Structure 1
Amino acid sequence: MTPNAASAPSGPSRRSFLASTAVATAAVAGGMPLLAACGGSDSGSRDGTTSGKDAKKILPAFVASNVVKPDIPAKNGSAIGFTSKLDLATLKTSVTKKLGKGGKVTIMSPFWGSPPKQNNAYYRAMNDLIGVDVVWQNQDGNTYDQKLGAVLASSDIPDVVVVPGWNMNGKIPSAIINKFADLGPYLSGDAVKEYPNLAAIPTDAWQRSLFGGKLRGLPQPAPYVTGIVPLYRKDVFDKEGYEIPRSADEFMALAKEITNAKAKRWACLDMKWTAFQNFGVLSGSEKPLWWNLVDGKLICRIETEEYLEALEWARKLFAAGVVHPDSELGKNAPDPGPKFAAGEFLIYPNNITQWWSRTGEQASQNPEFKIWGMDIWGHDGGNPDLWAEQPAGIFAFINKKASESVIRDVLAVANVTAAPYGTKEYMMTNYGVEGTHYSVKDGVPVKTDKGNNEVMNAYVMVASPAATLAHPDFPDVAKGQVEWQQRMGAFTKKSSFWGMQITEPGRYTNLGNDFEQLEDDITRGRKKISDMQQAVSDWKSKGGDKLRDWYKKILDENGSAAS
């Protein structure tokens, strides 16, 4: 189940594309792929790359949960799906005894919106369920990186600090290694069985929680299938008889057929991110995913022909006049929702969470409106070559100075928040107290005003169950989302550093920062493909080739976590 998703701009950056849906992501059990920008100092630059036999000694045992059976099991890296209505009378119990010992735990976490008062009904109910007095230090999610840096540089660190992957830059990764506890003694191997819901978190997500060779993070699992979907107006397509394109040429022909600038209708927004998928370009979300071993040599995404071909195709769309003028504005363009609903454009790539949120926005005022996800196609009409995203993107860490009792209490919190969909603990975590924060009408939970004010992105930030999609209000959307992931997952491959936590040395941190702006300049006709070729040449000489050697050494010494 998903709360209202924050809107991403029509020309999103790598960070805004994924971070903009953080509110939704945090509360879709397990979330969606999220950005983790890499950076850091040379110290610890190879830390957190543990894999293979070394990782097996550290990772928690996996014990699948059998408390609730999903309507659609996970497949090909997808989330699990639920399409049935909710029946509160049949909710299962996944935490049979209160594991908290009544201690007090402070948690600092990003928060989007206005934080509720500390002693509200939702917080009291959750703390009573867990047996822990959680005190929240909620911080503005939009400026969280600034607060995070200041707190981690101080001696006054809360018991728990939540760190989204996109905030792991600068000195944050080395601070994680130096200032947070090793959870191995409590969770490695069979020890995790004391916390059954944590034991049911997929191993890939725990692999991502290894920092400095130790198990330090409590993860939010995510599907590894790309979270960026070419969303389209299915109702208009059906009415006009438009067919889903299966190649770059077919898309261009369709775009020209749709577009009528005088009538204020264009085919699409900036399709750069879909172009990267269509042409098989390595993931651009997290810097380690830029690299892949090909015939014994590490290749970076920006060095490939596919990268240039994708940019050229995206440029041709702009040049043909089929892209909505808002996309010319780039990443500061307005929210695409209203103009998409008005039919000013019919296709745009964005986070999969918008499939549900746009449906919800229009359900009462525009009942004919139907947004759907277009299958990604190979540019030449064949199957696409897609690249896996990381299997976890937000982590909670426990202060290294915390006592064993505090650590145990935090794990008690996480064991409740990681409860699967269909359980009493999940409903309490995500919806609060029945009658106070929500009611269920025709099998659909509906939040009250109090629920909307109090049950927001707090406890869901500590840990989550296996990635889950469940929208009782729009079960067809949940089904469509999971089935889309499963179809696309069949064409998804894992690159060499998939699933690994890697912090690049500080001297390379900003090396690739200018490429995104250059990409946008090229697609909008302000720069040429030759400018990108020159930029790649400069990147190599300024450190790209040395960075390649650095990554290759990691791969030689640690092996790949991908299988």
Structure 2
Amino acid sequence: MTPNATSASSGSSRRSFLASTAVATAAVAGGMPLLAACGGSEGGSREGTTSGKNAKKILPAYVASNVVQPDIPSKNGSAMGFTSKLDVAGLKTSVPKKLGKGGKVTVMSPFWGSPPKQGNPYYTSMNDLIGVDVEWRNQDGNTYDQKLGAVLASSDVPDMVVVPGWNMMGKIPSAIISKFADLGPYLSGDKIKEYPNLAAIPSDAWQRSIFGGKLRGLPMPAGYVGNIVPLYRQDIFEKEGYEIPRSADDFMALCKDITNARAKRWACGDMKWTAFSNFGVLGGGEKPLWWNLVDGKLINRIETPQYLEAIEWTRKLFAAKVVHPNFELGKGQIGDPAPMFAAGEFLIWNNDISNWYGQQASLATQNPDVKVWGMDIWGHDGGNPTLYATMPANIFAFINKKASESVIRDALAVANVTAAPYGTKEWMMTNYGVEGTHYTLKDGVPVKTDKGNNEVINAYVMVASPAATIAHPDLPDYTRAMVEWQQRMGAFTKKSSFWGLQITEPSRYTNLATDFEQLEDDIIRGHKKISDMQQAISDWKSKGGDKLRDWYKKLLDENGSAAG
């Protein structure tokens, strides 16, 4: 939709993403694929979407930022990459004058860990830079959906509220439409040029920010290349002479070669999400991505033969006993696989791309010979893969519709600073805090102090973000590898029919597909059979799936697709 609309996320899981803003990632996709409903609607109604001509009237103008040029430009939906060390003394300025007018803005946002006290040096420095007195009302990220529901149902809604896509279930989408302001009068068209860093956010992310026919969200952009990478211990592969697989059969043979239970070594973890990519299954992150128009008919991912094939193949991995036994446990019982991966107990790990850097940085401190690398996604039959795009924004900040114009403009001033691009003073302050207090420079690389790790997390980065960026100047080879992996995989990535749209399904269908993820996991672990899934799909059709298909088809006929 725009010259830079193909930015990709270097996102992480809900907890790990924002527990570590020391990782220089400027955008997040929201993590491992989640079966979450998404919100949005048409013309103020409680369901539907807005696209095409109606969206164009609402969307902000796109004005690319030229303040800092990336070392590796975005391509095929990749993030921008920065491999050079930051010249902290020569950082560019992206906000030449304070846009904040000194007012107070309260912000409620999810937080993982122990929130710092109000008035700490990071908060005061950021507020001084912006010209706004931001007061944080941080809530436990693990139970945020409960708190969010209670607050939105009350009359005491803060000036700004952050809502991740995975929390947009039940009544939350309707509450977004009824409780939050239309930002169109401030941001639509050329009005956004008053906020240059917001203007440089890709249009695809703004398209996702339309709820109830109005521009209500301030987005955290993410790219459309899938974020699940088969990470592997390249150091052990090289030592043992293992070759990277190019097909499903190759992978199974490799796994059997690696596995030696007596020596406490297994080949892999749970590879389900990679299998979905290997077999060309439609995206499973959000319900609209489950649908795609094929020969004039809408097909759901669960109805495709590829879906059952991917589940069956993953089941065979478990049955062959090549999966580390800890992964046979149910969700929440597996524990942290990282120590087992570090010990070489298993060598291939289905993981978020952000953890490619994270695992390498962590393990290299224990053993400098460790090398964590990422496999390209291969087609199950040995050919090229067919991949499907993820949503271009998954976390949003909203402004209370009761807020005065001065509060709204102060809130936008906050967002314009937090959306500053990598390599600027504003980005550095947002992500690292104050030099000498929150970080020091080590060989030209900023390293957070204990105070930085305690204070510069989970806060301002939640308000709005720049186009997706990967920047690890301490490990430039990994920055390049991650971006180039996205570029290669982006070449095989398609946008399905409802990609990029913010859609609210009718509430009667909210729980229609809730049990599928658990059933998948039960089948691949041998507790249920493929026939159980076939029955569940039949039940899904009769209990509303076919009617939901008609609803989506009507939506597509009336609004068209945003996937150009």
Q: Same fold (TM over 0.5)?
A: yes
CA distance in 2, matches of 1:256, 1:36: 32
Q: Which position in structure 1 is the counterpart of 2:376?
A: 375
Q: Which position in structure 2 is the counterpart of 1:430?
A: 431
Q: CA deviation at 1:449?
A: 1.1
Q: CA deviation at 1:270?
A: 1.0
Q: CA deviation at 1:17?
A: 8.6
Q: Which position in structure 1 is the counterpart of 2:164?
A: 164
Match of 2:29 among 23, 28, 32: 32
**Larger displacement relative to structure 2 (196-205 or 21-30):** 21-30
Q: CA deviation at 1:36?
A: 7.2
CA distance in 2, matches of 1:17, 1:112: 13
The residue type paired with residue 164 of structure 1 is P
Give the secondary structure class of the aligned counterpart of 2:365: coil
Q: CA deviation at 1:45?
A: 6.4
1:177 to 2:177 alignment: yes
8 Å contact 1:225–1:388 — kept in the other structure? yes
The residue type paired with residue 128 of structure 2 is D
In the TM superposition, what whole-angstrom CA distance separates every residue of 1:475-519 from its partner, at most 9, and x where no partner exists? 111111111111000000000110011111111111101111111
8 Å contact 1:184–1:215 — kept in the other structure? yes
8 Å contact 2:41–2:211 — kept in the other structure? no
Q: Which position in structure 2 is the counterpart of 1:129?
A: 129
Instruction: Give the unaligned 5+ runs of structure 2.
Output: 1-10
CA distance in 2, matches of 1:209, 1:203: 10
Q: Which position in structure 1 is the counterpart of 2:460?
A: 459
Q: Which position in structure 1 is the counterpart of 2:548?
A: 547
1:48-447, aligned counterparts within 5 Å?
A: 49-332=49-332, 333-447=334-448
Q: Which position in structure 1 is the counterpart of 2:5?
A: none
8 Å contact 1:222–1:390 — kept in the other structure? yes
Q: Which position in structure 1 is the counterpart of 2:487?
A: 486
Q: 1:103 to 1:28 in 2, by over 3 A?
A: same
How many residue pairs were aligned?
548
Q: Which position in structure 2 is the counterpart of 1:19?
A: 14
Give the secondary structure class of the aligned counterpart of 2:421: coil
TM-score when normalising by structure 1: 0.95
Q: CA deviation at 1:19?
A: 2.9
1:495 to 2:496 alignment: yes
CA distance in 2, matches of 1:173, 1:549: 21
Q: CA deviation at 1:213?
A: 0.6
Superposed CA RMSD in Å reads 1.6
Give the secondary structure class of the aligned counterpart of 2:150: helix
Give the secondary structure class of the aligned counterpart of 2:316: helix
CA distance in 2, matches of 1:373, 1:359: 11
Q: 1:45 to 1:535 in 2, by over 3 A?
A: farther
8 Å contact 1:33–1:391 — kept in the other structure? no
Q: Which position in structure 1 is the counterpart of 2:3?
A: none
8 Å contact 1:48–1:214 — kept in the other structure? no
Q: 1:90 to 1:440 in 2, by over 3 A?
A: same
Q: CA deviation at 1:123?
A: 0.4
Q: Which position in structure 2 is the counterpart of 1:8?
A: none
CA distance in 1, matches of 2:318, 2:12: 20
8 Å contact 2:198–2:416 — kept in the other structure? yes
The residue type paired with residue 19 of structure 1 is R
Q: CA deviation at 1:146?
A: 0.4
CA distance in 2, matches of 1:357, 1:223: 19
Q: 1:45 to 1:322 in 2, by over 3 A?
A: farther
CA distance in 2, matches of 1:140, 1:428: 24
Q: 1:407 to 1:554 in 2, by over 3 A?
A: same
CA distance in 1, matches of 2:190, 2:242: 55
In the TM superposition, what whole-angstrom CA distance separates every residue of 1:131-159 from its partner, at most 9, and x where no partner exists? 00000000000000000000000011000
CA distance in 2, matches of 1:374, 1:276: 15
Q: CA deviation at 1:40?
A: 7.6
TM-score when normalising by structure 2: 0.95
Give the secondary structure class of the aligned counterpart of 1:330: coil
Give the secondary structure class of the aligned counterpart of 2:69: coil
CA distance in 1, matches of 2:93, 2:528: 58
Instruction: Give the unaligned 5+ runs of structure 1.
Output: 1-15
8 Å contact 2:105–2:133 — kept in the other structure? yes
Give the secondary structure class of the aligned counterpart of 1:56: helix
Give the secondary structure class of the aligned counterpart of 2:440: strand
Q: 1:340 to 1:457 in 2, by over 3 A?
A: same
CA distance in 1, matches of 2:41, 2:207: 22
CA distance in 2, matches of 1:483, 1:309: 29
Give the secondary structure class of the aligned counterpart of 1:383: coil
CA distance in 2, matches of 1:41, 1:467: 23
Q: CA deviation at 1:21?
A: 3.4
8 Å contact 2:59–2:189 — kept in the other structure? yes
In the TM superposition, what whole-angstrom CA distance separates every residue of 1:143-186 from its partner, at most 9, and x where no partner exists? 00000000000011000000000000010000000110000010
CA distance in 1, matches of 2:553, 2:297: 8
Q: 1:99 to 1:17 in 2, by over 3 A?
A: closer
8 Å contact 2:246–2:379 — kept in the other structure? yes
8 Å contact 2:35–2:517 — kept in the other structure? no
The residue type paired with residue 102 of structure 2 is G
Q: CA deviation at 1:331?
A: 1.6
CA distance in 2, matches of 1:51, 1:446: 43
1:559 to 2:560 alignment: yes
Q: CA deviation at 1:366?
A: 1.0
Q: 1:505 to 1:162 in 2, by over 3 A?
A: same
Give the secondary structure class of the aligned counterpart of 2:330: helix
The residue type paired with residue 37 of structure 1 is A
Give the secondary structure class of the aligned counterpart of 1:174: helix
The residue type paired with residue 215 of structure 1 is L
Q: Which position in structure 2 is the counterpart of 1:537?
A: 538
8 Å contact 2:12–2:354 — kept in the other structure? no
The residue type paired with residue 262 of structure 1 is R
The residue type paired with residue 278 of structure 2 is N
Q: 1:91 to 1:40 in 2, by over 3 A?
A: closer
8 Å contact 2:109–2:163 — kept in the other structure? yes
Q: 1:45 to 1:242 in 2, by over 3 A?
A: farther
In the TM superposition, what whole-angstrom CA distance separates every residue of 1:414-470 from its partner, at most 9, and x where no partner exists? 000000000000000000001111111112111111111111110000000000000
The residue type paired with residue 283 of structure 1 is G
Q: 1:25 to 1:167 in 2, by over 3 A?
A: farther
The residue type paired with residue 28 of structure 2 is G
Q: CA deviation at 1:330?
A: 2.7
8 Å contact 1:444–1:473 — kept in the other structure? yes
Give the secondary structure class of the aligned counterpart of 2:329: helix
CA distance in 2, matches of 1:196, 1:283: 33
8 Å contact 2:20–2:457 — kept in the other structure? no
Give the secondary structure class of the aligned counterpart of 1:21: helix
Q: CA deviation at 1:20?
A: 4.2
8 Å contact 1:46–1:502 — kept in the other structure? no
8 Å contact 2:108–2:138 — kept in the other structure? yes
1:471 to 2:472 alignment: yes
